[in-house]
Structure 1
Amino acid sequence: MHPHSPLSCPCGQRHAAGQRGCRPAPGKITSIAFSPTEKSSCCAAPREEESDRGDADYRWRISGMDCPACARKIENAVGQLPGVAQARVLFATEKLLVSADKDVRQQVEQAVVSAGFTLRSESQPAEENPGFWRENGLLLALGALLLASWLLQAIDPQAGKIAFILTTLVGCWPVARTALRLMRSGTPFAIETLMTVAALGALFIGATAEAAMVLLLFMLGERLEAFAAGRARRGVTALMALKPDEALRIRGDKRETVAVSELQPGDLIEVAAGGRLPADAILATSFASFDESALTGESMPVARQAGETVAAGSLSVDRLVTLKVASKPGESAIDRILHLIEEADAHRAPVERFLDRFSRVYTPLVMALALLVALIPPLLFAGDWQTWIYKGLTLLLIGCPCALVISTPAAITSGLAAAARHGVLIKGGAALESLNNVRTLAFDKTGTLTEGKPQIVAIEAFDGQDEAALLAKAAAVEQGSSHPLAKAIVQLAEQRRLLIPQATAQKTLAGSGIEAVVGGHKLSICAPERLALTAERQAQVAQLESAGNTVAIVAQNLQPTGLIALRDTLRPDAAAALAELRALNITAVMLTGDNPRAAAAIASELAIDYRASLLPEDKVAAIHELNQRSAVAMVGDGINDAPAMKAATLGIAMGGGSDVALESADAALTHNRLTGLATMIRLSRATHANIRQNITLALGLKGLFLVTTLLGITGLWLAVLADSGATALVTANALRLLSKR
């Protein structure tokens, strides 16, 4: 029948917690009733792959990060401070998390300011938008000086040359100052360092106009990159804005306005029509409609009845409502989604990790190669010093790996953000990349392909016993279980207002049912094949199962005393979702613990293969077998699905499923619609194609300009286009994923 006990290990497998070889669950997806990664550093040395962050001792908000490379620069600056065990910057939510064995707040703040950024506490309000002129003033001023220098050169070449030198120095000053700060804070090979060397080197050999142009193009590229990063981060900031800062709390006859952080479970709150919920809450008003589209993607308002839970950030559409707070501060639906987004960087795509490590050795290697190009031909082959120094400086700019390294995280960030817009949460780039390889989807039945709300269609007490007494005893055994079949039995007993006796010594029969002691007798509820039934009873069970019902046998002291038949209904979107998957060449198979006849009835309606009567370990074995043919994703919602989800290439949880299934999953459908699976696959494939396009674009431009530079065809300012231009192009290409439908 159905298992009832949680598993002993957080990895979802049946062994002792922490056993050698067990794979712990990645960042937790806490139950959601209704994920962008940080981008990698450009030229800065990246960090190694990290585990989940755990609790930080100190937290700040960061201002001034224009691109994801800034996150690595801050980490390097803070990470080398004495007493700091770990420093981590979450670019998506602009947070700095520091773990330390002593109070390092003052040192951290000084280090971050020295690196060119500002900090504020999490409770402080966000800074106002700096405005157009403050953000772009230096770029516009440099452009005006460059134009004036060109005009002056047309009139007086010598005066124009002096003007270009002054323009270069004006533009180089903030870049060089940032480079020095980063060197002191542990990032010697930043892009600012390369630009400073190139600009000053160009002045040294007399290429004054090109030196100024290099800096102008670099600043333009930085602004374009900052704009693109802001676009990718906008979805996160919009999500954070869904939760109001204050709430109206009811205490007796008094109403008081309090900060959301002061709300505790059990508090009564009031939300006006058009207002958003500050926390997850249980509706106390008889009924109301809520707009949950910002969290679930559901376009139509959802009608909720008294006693139903409504997610934080939902909008009360038509009336003033009273609700009872259900979530602790920092644990609402919005907070949980933001936590997932923050944790996504711990599960970066393999190609992204490779490019990160590649950039660590690539940048110093390029600098050394540029130095050799500038020195060897003049020293060994009597080459012209000015010509070869110029080529060395150009190579220095072409070689910066910004566009290459950012090509993957830019696409993955956009892909994850686009998925979140469609009600799909994916735990980072590794899961998104794995989805691209999936060719088979394995489905649990109850609660996944079906509604998960079975109804009792028949109760029969054997040997003339009382039907009501049989139902009451069955409800006693099942009480407290979260399984849909158990809930249906208890619910019907409560609806009939039966007196449910007390049960003790409840014990799960792994994968087949449950037993307990009721009224001094051992009662069990299990699958028909677990007991010896007469031929007449077997025929009766077969008839019920052939109609698509699930049959549970109630036994007292191992003697059958009755049966309960339950039937679940297909999800309304199940057939459409499977049709979409078939159009994507995805094979579907149903893995269920239900009996073969009931499974066959559901499978025939959906036209998919199935395997029935599976215990949790049988599902794992089936997944291993399927994995040998092609990559498999397991879709489920129950405790018994968790081991199979961990065994699969990818685990996908239904948003309303059990906590164990959600923790074991690599992705979740927050809106509980199966059509999100096809969306997930399409986005993964589009992201993978986007990554290939970006890498081809970055390498192609660099290769082209490298050849033309060595041949003397192109110069410094085109070399900047090979880097800053390519960075802007790959980022813009990645942003196309945000509009993917």
Structure 2
Amino acid sequence: MKEYKLQGLSCSNCAREMEEEINKLDHGEGSRILYNSSKMELADGVDLGRVEKILHADGAAIQKDDHDHGAHGHDHSHTSSSRMKLLLGISAVIFLLAIFVDSVIDHPVSIALYLSAAAISGYPTFIKGAKNLFRLKFNIDTLMTIALIGAFSIGEWKEGTLVAILFGVNELLEGMGMEKARRSMEELLKVAPKEAILLKDGEERVVPIASLKVGDIVLVKSGQKIPSDGIVESGKSSVNESAITGEAMPVEKQPGEAVFGGSINNEGVLKVSIQKEYHDSSLAKILHLVEEAQETKTPTEQFINKFAKYYTPLIMIIAVLVIVIPPLFLNGEWGAWFYQGLAVLIVGCPCALILSSPIAIVSGIARNAKNGILVKGGVFLEQLGKIDTIAFDKTGTLTKGEPHVEQVKIYDDRFFTIAGSIEKSSSHPIAKAVMERLAEEDLTFIEPDEINTITGQGVSAILNGRTYKVGNENSISFVLSDEMNGEIQRLKREGYTLVIVSDEEQVLGLFGITDEIREESHDIIERLHAAGIKRTVMLTGDHDRTAEKVASKVGLTDYYASLLPDEKVAKVKELTRTGRVAMVGDGINDAPALATADLGIAMGKGTDSAIETADLVLMQDHLGKLPTAIKIAKRVNRIIKINITLALGLKLIALLLTIPGLLTLWIAILSDMGATILVTLISLTVMLGEKKQVS
């Protein structure tokens, strides 16, 4: 498949019809025209000349000099719309002149002016419509052409010309609305860096990022973009990762830390070792998925497209009935009802209906992507707006996934010094948690004379000739008092992992270790409930007391503890029987549950597993943006419903005017244009709305 950027693609129905024609060409099967992103994917072996003829017949063309997602300075869409505005402006002036001439000079002169104005503003429509008539192909252009020929045939020069001009305005607005949504999406694609400074043999060379290999060292100066995912080899700086995570705050980077391609070095100079070629980088995958996401059709869009396919022929049948039935059976005048039938044809244009969904969907996907939320398609955006239950994994999602000292019980002054002296050389996560807590104290540690690990118990060490132990209950070799035993059992019931420090005779103190709850979790759960989520459920493999404590602190409605991976899947299935369920996890060990839920949501700050596993990816390492994503999705769904209601409602009102015979050509075109304008403007409001929330 070869990909081409298109210009002049302003009608989704026309795009579908052109795609069908290209598919009929030799080797054309599988070719696609992507209306939302204004691109064409062409199968190998297709005659490009014949494809260009098909495109040209509908006013579209291949952009010859576009190879980088619109990053160059020449804006073809702007040129096309400017030309259309000029033609419509000339038509409007000639139309006004025709009205003046009609009132003071010979009639034939005004007719010539009316025809000139109609031809200038509507000639692309007439040409396409005339071709369609000969091929018995009925679409929007066919309807308009029949209506205009009919209007001029009965002497309605003024109204026929007004219809042509307003239909041109309608098409211009339709194209401009979609182009604004596309430009919003293309702004995202511009974050991709184009070149890098490669360090080789002590020399600096500027090279295209596509040429970088794993292991290459690149120099990233202040203000420059990091070319691909890598590791900082030398230098310190703050890095703006908003292109990946949507987070506005810069992140400090130093040697050994990972950086993302597309993020910006704020100050200083970094040497970065490339870990992934650009096409495998997080940014490249994100941009590819965002582009693909534009073209996935939601169930609503699929229904509208199917409906529109039968809608146009149905309108033509209704128009014929309006023309024929009143004169034949109700003593109506042929001329009057022929006029009404022409107006029905214009009312029948499905432009607004077809536009009711795609602009809102593209705007919603683009706005979420700018906020660091990757929605993999319109169908998932629509689904997100319908979710009423969210199930969370605990570790790393509601909690930080790292051991944290929450309780300290001191029974002897030696407690902290002995604990630190033994744990300071250990790399165990629990030992690190203990040392983080001890860092708060002003302590001097002792160097152990001897240290041994005892499997299943902990660590034994000799300090200043005395034996000490740091470990669990099994490390204690003496009988505990009832009071001490009761305290240990109480802490265990409350869900703590215990680190007990003792000598050969007594317990010096206890550390109560737990997985620290994220500071923002409670606020996020509150915001989710405020956003319309009815149930928030935690699914965890931890025991009941730990689960109960976390659920209570963050404000969840339900929790289920001691679950194995297959039991999590079973619980998600159970939840889907009573609501629409999203599952939130880290994209690795929760993959089965993510796949089982109606919507899988992964979080992971750009990790491959997170990007590839779920339907929606939070590119941060927290849930702070999830409530905003849900609000955007609900807003998109609400706007689509409003748009469909407006598109059909205005047309229905106009059609009802045929009953008393009050429908006119200009009312018909205004009802269609009014619906298109309203649908476009309402859809574009998705790009406005709330400011970014940073948690």
TM class by shorter-chain length?
0.7 to 0.9
1:59 is aligned to 3
Please tell me the residue identity of whatever aligns with 1:61. Answer: K
State the 1:659 CA deviation.
4.6
Determine helix, strand or coil for the equivalent of 1:713.
coil
State the 1:566 CA deviation.
6.2
Out of 289, 297, 318, the position equivalent to 2:267 is 318
Q: Mean alpha-carbon deviation: is it higher for 691-700 or for 125-134?
A: 125-134
Please tell me the residue identity of whatever aligns with 2:16. Answer: R
State the 1:172 CA deviation.
3.3
1:222 is aligned to 171
Out of 158, 172, 177, the position equivalent to 2:127 is 177
Cα 1:325–1:359 change in 2 (3 A) is same
Question: Would the aligned equivalents of 1:652 and 1:667 in 2 still touch at CA under 8 Å?
Answer: yes
Out of 20, 39, 48, the position equivalent to 1:76 is 20
**Cα deviation per residue 1:359-407 (whole Å; 9 max; x = unaligned)?**
1111111122213322444456564332222111110110122212221
Out of 179, 182, 188, the position equivalent to 1:239 is 188
Aligned pairs for 1:182-581 (under 5 A) are 188-344=137-293, 347-378=296-327, 383-454=332-403, 545-546=492-493, 548-549=495-496, 567-581=514-528
State the 1:455 CA deviation.
6.0
Please tell me the residue identity of whatever aligns with 1:118. Answer: A
Please tell me the residue identity of whatever aligns with 1:74. Answer: M
Please tell me the residue identity of whatever aligns with 1:87. Answer: S
Please tell me the residue identity of whatever aligns with 2:362. Answer: T
Determine helix, strand or coil for the equivalent of 1:335.
helix
Percent identity of equivalent pairs = 37
The runs of 5 or more residues in structure 2 that have no matched partner are 408-421, 435-446, 448-471, 473-478, 500-510, 691-695
Cα 1:703–1:236 change in 2 (3 A) is same
Cα 1:375–1:187 change in 2 (3 A) is closer
- Name the CA distance, whole Å, in 1 between partners of 2:433 and 2:280: 29
1:723 is aligned to 672
Question: Would the aligned equivalents of 1:391 and 1:710 in 2 still touch at CA under 8 Å?
Answer: no
1:85 is aligned to 29
Q: Give the root-mean-square deviation of aligned CA atoms.
A: 3.9
**Cα deviation per residue 1:267-312 (whole Å; 9 max; x = unaligned)?**
2222221222232332223321112234432222221222323222
Please tell me the residue identity of whatever aligns with 1:128. Answer: H
Cα 1:736–1:486 change in 2 (3 A) is farther
State the 1:242 CA deviation.
1.4
Determine helix, strand or coil for the equivalent of 1:451.
strand
Which protein shows a greater Rg? 2
Please tell me the residue identity of whatever aligns with 2:18. Answer: I
State the 1:358 CA deviation.
0.9
- Name the CA distance, whole Å, in 1 between partners of 2:257 and 2:364: 32
Question: Would the aligned equivalents of 1:92 and 1:342 in 2 still touch at CA under 8 Å?
Answer: no
Question: Would the aligned equivalents of 1:161 and 1:208 in 2 still touch at CA under 8 Å?
Answer: yes
- Name the CA distance, whole Å, in 1 between partners of 2:487 and 2:230: 45
1:161 is aligned to 111
Q: Mean alpha-carbon deviation: is it higher for 672-681 or for 720-729?
A: 672-681
State the 1:356 CA deviation.
1.4
- Name the CA distance, whole Å, in 2 between partners of 1:145 and 1:710: 34
Cα 1:729–1:243 change in 2 (3 A) is same
1:555 is aligned to none
State the 1:685 CA deviation.
2.1
State the 1:702 CA deviation.
0.5
1:607 is aligned to 555
Aligned pairs for 1:15-54 (under 5 A) are none
- Name the CA distance, whole Å, in 2 between partners of 1:95 and 1:635: 33
Determine helix, strand or coil for the equivalent of 1:250.
strand
Please tell me the residue identity of whatever aligns with 2:115. Answer: I
- Name the CA distance, whole Å, in 2 between partners of 1:453 and 1:312: 27
Out of 646, 655, 661, the position equivalent to 1:712 is 661
State the 1:679 CA deviation.
1.0
**Cα deviation per residue 1:243-262 (whole Å; 9 max; x = unaligned)?**
23222222122222222222
**Cα deviation per residue 1:45-91 (whole Å; 9 max; x = unaligned)?**
xxxxxxxxxxxx22212122234445324322322211122122233
Cα 1:485–1:145 change in 2 (3 A) is farther
Please tell me the residue identity of whatever aligns with 1:579. Answer: E
Q: Mean alpha-carbon deviation: is it higher for 617-626 or for 581-590?
A: 581-590
Determine helix, strand or coil for the equivalent of 2:127.
helix
Question: Would the aligned equivalents of 1:77 and 1:112 in 2 still touch at CA under 8 Å?
Answer: no
The runs of 5 or more residues in structure 1 that have no matched partner are 1-56, 459-466, 476-483, 490-495, 497-527, 529-534, 553-563
Cα 1:539–1:339 change in 2 (3 A) is farther
Cα 1:58–1:191 change in 2 (3 A) is same
Is residue 624 from structure 1 mapped to residue 570 from structure 2 by the alignment? Answer: no
**Cα deviation per residue 1:67-124 (whole Å; 9 max; x = unaligned)?**
4445324322322211122122233433211335x45445434443444322237637
- Name the CA distance, whole Å, in 1 between partners of 2:211 and 2:47: 28
2:537 is aligned to 589
Please tell me the residue identity of whatever aligns with 2:537. Answer: V
Question: Would the aligned equivalents of 1:150 and 1:160 in 2 still touch at CA under 8 Å?
Answer: yes
**Cα deviation per residue 1:448-503 (whole Å; 9 max; x = unaligned)?**
11123446999xxxxxxxx99x989xx8xxxxxxxx999999xxxxxx9xxxxxxx
- For these two proteins, the number of residue pairs brought into alignment is 622
Question: Would the aligned equivalents of 2:92 and 2:117 in 1 still touch at CA under 8 Å?
Answer: no
2:55 is aligned to 112
- Name the CA distance, whole Å, in 1 between partners of 2:31 and 2:341: 36
**Cα deviation per residue 1:406-446 (whole Å; 9 max; x = unaligned)?**
21233222222222232222232322222233222111011
Question: Would the aligned equivalents of 2:34 and 2:295 in 1 still touch at CA under 8 Å?
Answer: no
State the 1:669 CA deviation.
1.2
Q: Mean alpha-carbon deviation: is it higher for 340-349 or for 386-395?
A: 340-349
1:6 is aligned to none
State the 1:576 CA deviation.
1.1
- Name the CA distance, whole Å, in 1 between partners of 2:614 and 2:205: 40
Cα 1:352–1:114 change in 2 (3 A) is closer
- Name the CA distance, whole Å, in 2 between partners of 1:61 and 1:486: 57
Determine helix, strand or coil for the equivalent of 2:92.
helix
Question: Would the aligned equivalents of 1:637 and 1:658 in 2 still touch at CA under 8 Å?
Answer: no
- Name the CA distance, whole Å, in 1 between partners of 2:659 and 2:366: 41
Question: Would the aligned equivalents of 1:266 and 1:324 in 2 still touch at CA under 8 Å?
Answer: yes
Question: Would the aligned equivalents of 1:67 and 1:229 in 2 still touch at CA under 8 Å?
Answer: no
Please tell me the residue identity of whatever aligns with 1:278. Answer: P
State the 1:710 CA deviation.
3.9
Cα 1:302–1:550 change in 2 (3 A) is same
Is residue 645 from structure 1 mapped to residue 588 from structure 2 by the alignment? Answer: no
Cα 1:241–1:721 change in 2 (3 A) is same
Question: Would the aligned equivalents of 1:639 and 1:658 in 2 still touch at CA under 8 Å?
Answer: no
1:682 is aligned to 631
Determine helix, strand or coil for the equivalent of 1:709.
coil
Determine helix, strand or coil for the equivalent of 1:694.
helix
- Name the CA distance, whole Å, in 2 between partners of 1:589 and 1:454: 23
- Name the CA distance, whole Å, in 2 between partners of 1:240 and 1:437: 28
**Cα deviation per residue 1:312-366 (whole Å; 9 max; x = unaligned)?**
2222111232222233233333322222223325643222221111111111111
Q: TM-score, normalised by structure 1?
A: 0.76
Cα 1:266–1:673 change in 2 (3 A) is same
- Name the CA distance, whole Å, in 1 between partners of 2:606 and 2:490: 31
